[in-house]
Amino acid sequence: MSIFKTKINQNSESFRRNYFLMKEKVRELEQIMQKSLFQGEEKYLDRNKKSGKLTARERIELLLDQDSPFLELLPLAGLGGDGFAVGGTLTAGIGIISCRLCIITANVGTIKGGSIDYTTLQKNLRISEIALENGLPVINLVESAGANLPDQAKIFNYGGTAFREITRRSKKGLPTISVVFGNSTAGGAYIPGMSDYVIMVKNQAKVFLAGPPLVKMATNEVVDDEALGGADMHSRISGVSDYIANDELDGIRIAREIMENLPSPSKRTENQLPSQAEFLEGSSSFQSGRSAIASPLYNSEEILGVVSADVRIPFDSRELIARISDGSEFSEFKPNYGSTLITGYAAINGYRIGIIANNGVLFSEAANKGTQFIQLCNQNNTPLLFLQNITGFMVGKKYEEEGIIKHGANMINAVSNSTVPAITIITGASYGAGNYAMCGRAFKPRFLFSYPNSKIAVMGPDQLAGVMEIIQRDAAQKAGIDYDEDKGAYIKQKITSEADKQSNAYFATGQLWDDGVIDPRQTRNYLKLCLEVIHNTDFKGTDGYGVFRM
């Protein structure tokens, strides 16, 4: 493959200005991410510590292999909403346990007893989807009071999905291991109840469908929580528990031991998974059973100067590709045709990948090129990486006559029916049907991440406000009245402001429209681990597509 030669001048005023602006956006991201680390008020954390219990994040840290990366998912779910906490009452992600890739979820028992609100449920359902798609076992660190009753109207009907997915994964040979650390009531009790392996911590785990007060009210039976649902009872009498742990550390040890005894899901060996240092620092020493891997020729720090802080200002996506691909190599497909869409092959951490990146608005030629390239990647079983920075498809009389609708529809058809895994990163704008053609959330990429500068909406705020102004002027003209310029300007400003707020990266991630907002400098590291996860299972390109309109 050819090495891409950068055209960036790091000493230029435009580069330095953009670097400064993106650095500010990364600082804002770091500040907002602090909210996801909240694990409860100090009084509850102190009480937890005095009782000898660990926090959710401490349990995860001890469970992971030494130096394992931990790819936290949906950390800002619910941001800006009225849920219990940013990220819900669940911390979740992908890590390595006993040399195996694994999903880890941990109820944050120090926030509302780990009760499940709407955000937490939606986050859990997305995590379950990732586990099933990528053939990953799941370890649940359980301490949950069950459904948050005031939210029951929003979560009851969908809550059963979490239980259903445990059994579906089990059917496919993907076990769920639950370690119960505290009170787990009602829905919280069904998580271990549906799991393949259950570990309960002595004198801490309390698992029952209804606690002592409800039992007394319903049946007039008086019983304490240990006799009703303690670890000892479930281990000796009910059989709900398979292992009894002496303490939390022992419970974590048993979970790791169970993982050691599971068959390897693939041909991967112990020394083929990345360490924490390799994940965070982009080490080139990680072989993963493939040929030697060359780091990009250009420093990842430069990405902050490459990617435009203002989505209205274009940038060359090849410059981003050169800073995430092995050896900065990129074999471009049809470089002289449909120039507003970049397509081609690269390698990331030794894995071949087909890259589709926006370099402007989508014209018919670009859409046709994208369609063909997706077909080729399915033919040769190559995963796809979509780098979204798209304002949409070109509009106007000329382009409608040329069939922009059918050409765009063909690309969406190709994305919809592609069966090779896809990863999507929103590096700038993600507007209109361009989001669909570039494998947005509705088209189920295996993973979708956003940069902190990104915007996602039907159209840009200025365009939306402008369209609304035209409609209002036309309505006034038809009614035979004068258009109120002052009122119109006020409405236009309000529309622009509201649309801007509802299209930024943090609104989107709060709605779970992505799997996380990431520091652009960490793009290659995220892709490295995501590609390891994707290659955890076999995949094959599609044998056919729906009807392409010609």
For residues 343-381, one letter each, b for 16 or more C-beta atoms within 10 angstroms of the residue's C-beta and e for the rest, the string is: bbbbbbbbbbbbbbbbbbbbbbbbbbbbbbbbbebbeee
**What would the DSSP string read from start to end of 32-93?**
HHHHHT--S-HHHHHHHHHTTPPPHHHHHHHHSPTT--EEE-STTTTTTSSSSSTTTTEEEE
Band (342; pLDDT cuts 50, 70, 90): very high
pLDDT at residue 56 in the model: 97
Tell me 509's DSSP state. H
95-107 per-position pLDDT tens digit: 999 999 999 999 9
> Which residue type, as a one-letter code, is found at position 538?
D
Range name among 112-116, 123-127, 301-305, 495-499 with the lowest pLDDT average: 495-499
Give the residue, 347 or 158, on which the prediction is more confident: 347
Report domain 294-456+504-534's class.
alpha beta
pLDDT at residue 337 in the model: 97
Token readout for 301 is: 């720090």
349-406 per-position pLDDT tens digit: 999 999 999 999 999 999 999 999 999 999 999 999 999 999 988 889 998 988 999 9
- In this model, does residue 492 exceed pLDDT 90? no
pLDDT at residue 276 in the model: 61
Give the residue, 66 or 460, on which the prediction is more confident: 66
- In this model, does residue 302 exceed pLDDT 50? yes
128-163 per-position pLDDT tens digit: 999 999 999 999 999 998 888 888 888 888 888 999
Distances (CA, A) of 399 to 364, 396, 407, 413, 462: 8, 5, 10, 19, 22
Give the residue, 453 or 473, on which the prediction is more confident: 453
Cα 489 from Cα 496, distance rounded (Å)? 10
**Helix (H) / strand (E) containing 500:** helix 485-501
Please indicate, yes or no, whether the overall pTM of this predicted structure exceeds 0.95.
no
| Cβ-proximal residues to 292 (8 Å cutoff; 6+ apart), any chain | 284
CATH 3.90.226.10 fits 54-272, yes or no: yes
- In this model, does residue 270 exceed pLDDT 50? no
Band (288; pLDDT cuts 50, 70, 90): very low
Cα 23 from Cα 21, distance rounded (Å)? 5
Band (420; pLDDT cuts 50, 70, 90): very high
Where are the domain boundaries for CATH 3.90.226.10 in the chain? 54-272, 294-456+504-534
